[in-house]
Amino acid sequence: MTYRELTAMPSAQGDFNAFLEDLRATLTAGQKDPNDVVRDTLFQLYFGALSSDVELAKPTTDRLPPSARVLLHSLDPRNVTTEPEYYTDIDSNRYLERKPFIWMWQMFDRSPLGQNAVLGLPLRRLLAPFIFQRVGRNFKCWHAVEWSFGYNLSFGDDVVIHRHVLLDDRGGIEIGNGVSISDYVNIYSHTHDIDDIHKVYTQPTRIGDGARITYHATVLAGVRIGENAMVGTSAVVTSDVKANHIVVGIPAKTVKVKDGREMEASVSRNE
């Protein structure tokens, strides 16, 4: 889908562009620890002040109430743990490389600026290559999107991820070119043993070029969605979906083929 071109007022857009360019330069220059960059940037976003203008060192911070000290500590990714860090199958080294950028993304989304798309879309596009295995051109991601590790998640060109999507990449998720994933979709790549919940099985999940996963749909681990296929609203996909097929329901089943030819052939065989 082609989006309209929108901008903020000229003075604000100039500041947005300057902020993004400064953040990009600071993250890629290699002169500062990314954790420090994220801590200082989040402080500025949340409090509207430079961290250097505020004395954060002891004993000054000791005079703050505990709740204020907890908040300041939690702006630093090194003082935070996330749910994926508790999973036993995590590659800790690979995750820790990405953690500052993940925390920046998540805390930006929760900040007063999180739903400002004219800033949020390019900010997430800036951070995405630091987090994910692969990110193609023209990547668009709206707010409140979550994933597991990040390093097992790849995106092709012209991918759009809408609000409140969960991409569980523990076993790997490959998303092809031109894919659209609608609001509140869940895509998984791991399952638990029926008898022993502690046994986790990981299976890569693949979304083919041009596929559309629509509102509130769920795609289970190991499934392959074919090219140009469509998953209907609230469907639960438990098995592979062929190219051009439209599936709906729980479990999802084909109700239509986009070009109609395969469906017509199936009907004639059954007559």
In the block, tokens 């820790």 appear at: 96
Predicted confidence at residue 64, as pLDDT, reads 76
Cis peptide, bond prior to residue 204, ω within 30 of zero: no
Give residue-wise pLDDT tens across range 233-270.
999 999 999 999 999 999 999 999 998 655 544 443 33
Stretches in the chain below the pLDDT threshold 50: 264-271
Structure letter (DSSP) for residue 254: E
* β-pair type (160-161, 190-192): unpaired
- Comparing CA positions, the residue from 150, 146, 99, 140 lying closest to residue 120 is 140
CA 27 to chain centre: 20
Q: What is the set of domains in the chain, with CATH numbers?
A: 10-131 (no CATH), 136-271 (2.160.10.10)
Give residue-wise pLDDT tens across range 132-164.
999 999 999 999 999 999 999 999 999 999 999
pTM score of the predicted model? 0.89
